[in-house]
A and B are shown apart, each in its own frame.
Chain A
Amino acid sequence: MLKTVILGFILGIVGTVAAAYYVPVVDQHRESSVIAVAPNGGNTESFRINIPTDRIMVGAPKQAEPLPPGLDWPADEFFDGVRVELFKLRNSADAVIGVASRMVADSDAIEDSIEWVLHLPARGTFYVAMPVQTADESRRVGTLRAGTREFSPMQGTVSERWVAITDNDDIDAPDGYIELETSFVGTLSDDMTETELQEGAQ
């Protein structure tokens, strides 16, 4: 009898340790990436944000109807030149895959800028800064400043443009969407470690 209890005790320890090691505590849901290969190398990916349905927050001074309702934006004039927006982010198949922030700075002290951070929980995060001036009639183009995990070995550009939807009479249809298009190419350098390369490949 004692031997059975001891056997069970050992099984209990081994089972718990094995479960703690092998059973994933976190399992992020993944949508298939919709990536196209660019003609001159690298790849392109398109993200979209439906307006107004994907807008989580608009932080700006003196809003008549703040979003979300009850938002308490700092009243201090110090923040008058800053506008912060928060969105849900979709892939080109219209599935929500992440969260994004857009920050606009209007200041006399530094150059005006628009910045995006796109956070995709299963893949990584990247940070883009772009000038306020549009590159053509509708599109702003910025450069990738930093990326994590899948985006860490990347360099390239990201463009934003507003696309109005005028041909949909459905009352719930979005007014339009913000399209973000990335054009990234991987960088290889002697400084990259094996681990960084593996993380980038995952």
Chain B
Amino acid sequence: MIKYVAGLLFGIALGAFTAATLLYFNPLAARNPLSPLSVSNNKILSLNYSIVPNDSIVYTNNGESRVRPHPEKVRELWEAPIRHSEVLVTVVKDSRNDPAGIGIKFSSDSERTRIINGEALVDSAWHIHLVERGSLFVEQTENYWNFLRKIVLPAYWSTTNHWKGTWNANMTVGPRALGTAAVSGGTGEFAGLESEAVEAIHASAYSVLQGPVAMDGSLTIDIAGNIELTASDVAER
């Protein structure tokens, strides 16, 4: 009898391991890296920022993550309704790497996350003010599944607790039909703007102890209408 129970448990463990391996290597979870905006005929506004918390003005989370808040004494988001959230306040730069404004990114883990579909979803919103120009609000859903699979887990499995390499990917998967973010203009030259955007990550180093070490983000915003772009806005495409 014990032999059969042991056999059943061994089978269950083997089955669970096989299923977990299939989920991890699920080829259907691979995303098309091509940005839908790369085929747009409209003008493109490109904004870049550093994802490394120590490069930010303020970064805060629940204080229990391995990625530590910055500066050290910033208030943490420990209350139950906000403990799955983080906020990044940073200088956003144009495509010539000159400061263009201030961006605030609110991110919260999404309840629509489904590992079986290769989805580790985050609902995020950008509040961006471009100095002397105006403000924008960007709403998006991001999928961090491939980020976890290609960067975070390999860092944990590495004997040095570190990942190094080159990884570029679009994170935005919605809410728009083509997997783009929704952009709403607020003030200045962006007042009344309704458009789309895509956020991408360019990663080259990640540490288990510190989180992102060398990692940049970029927001590509499709500017429909008559908004005049400066030369430094326009990213090479």
**B75, closest chain A residue (CB):** A56
- Does B87 sit within 8 A of A, measured CB to CB? yes
User: Would you call A7 and B116 a contact (CB within 8 A)?
Assistant: no
Closest to A56 in B: B75
B15 touches A13 (CB 8 A): yes
- Shortest Cβ distance from residue A197 to the other chain B in the assembled complex, whole angstroms: 14
Interface of A: prevailing SS? mixed
| Interface contact B11-A6, CB-CB below 8 Å | yes
**Separation of A115 and B187 alpha carbons in the complex (Å):** 9
At the interface, yes or no: A149 with Cβ under 8 Å from chain B?
Answer: yes
Q: Looking across the interface, which residue of chain B has its beta carbon closest to that of A199?
A: B175
Across-interface contacts of B60 in A (CB, < 8 A): 56
Residues 20-57 of A, flagged 1 when their CB comes within 8 A of B and 0 if not, give: 11001111111100000000000000000000000011
A16 CB, min distance to chain B CBs, angstroms: 4
Q: B16–A15 contact, CB under 8 A?
A: yes
A26→B102 contact, CB < 8 A: no
Task: Assess A78 versus B131: contact at CB under 8 Å? Given A20-B114, A68-B58, A121-B81.
Answer: yes
List chain A residues, Cβ under 8 A from B83: 29
**Which listed residue (B84, B108, B114, B186) contacts A127, Cβ 8 A?**
B186
Is B80 part of the binding interface, using a Cβ–Cβ cutoff of 8 Å? Answer: yes
B213 within 8 A of A: no
Whether the Cβ atoms of A127 and B81 lie closer than 8 Å is: no
Given A1-B7, A12-B12, A127-B186, verify A97-B99 contact (CB < 8 Å). Answer: no
**Total A-B residue pairs with C-beta atoms closer than 8 Å?**
242
**Are B125 and A26 interface neighbours, CB within 8 A?**
no
B91 within 8 A of A: yes
Interface status of B216 (Cβ within 8 A of chain A)? no
Judged by a CB distance under 8 angstroms, whether A139 is at the interface is no
B229 contacts across to A, CB distance below 8 A: none
- Beta-carbon nearest neighbor of A11 in chain B: B12
CB distance from A139 to the nearest CB of B (A): 20
Known: A26-B109, A79-B102. A8 touches B14 (CB 8 A): yes
| B49 close to chain A: CB less than 8 A | no
Instruction: Tell me whether A76 is interfacial, beta carbon within 8 Å.
Output: yes
- In angstroms, Cα B81 to Cα A115, docked, is 23
User: In the complex the two chains form, what is the Cα distance from A21 to B117 in whole Å?
Assistant: 8
The docked-state distance in angstroms from the alpha carbon of A113 to that of B15 is: 59
* Pick from A8, A71, A98, A145: contact of B11, CB under 8 Å: A8
Contact B58 A69 (CB under 8 A): no
A56–B71 Cα distance when bound, in Å, is: 11
Residue contacts A-B, CB under 8 angstroms, 23 given: A8-B10, A11-B12, A14-B15, A15-B15, A21-B116, A26-B84, A56-B87, A59-B58, A68-B58, A68-B74, A69-B73, A79-B99, A81-B132, A82-B101, A99-B82, A110-B134, A111-B187, A113-B186, A115-B186, A127-B137, A129-B187, A145-B185, A145-B186
Known: A74-B57, A88-B79; 18 extra A-B contacts, CB below 8 A, are: A4-B11, A5-B11, A12-B11, A24-B113, A28-B108, A28-B111, A30-B81, A71-B71, A72-B71, A73-B57, A78-B99, A86-B87, A105-B188, A109-B132, A110-B187, A125-B139, A129-B135, A148-B125
Binding site for B on A (CB under 8 A): 1, 4-17, 20-21, 24-31, 56-57, 59, 68-74, 76, 78-79, 81-82, 84, 86, 88, 95-99, 101, 103, 105, 107-111, 113, 115, 117, 119-122, 124-125, 127, 129, 145-146, 148-149
Chain B interface (Cβ within 8 Å of chain A)?
3-4, 7-20, 23, 57-58, 60, 71-75, 77, 79-85, 87, 89, 91, 99, 101-102, 104, 106, 108-111, 113-116, 120, 123, 125, 127, 129, 131-135, 137, 139, 175, 182, 184-189
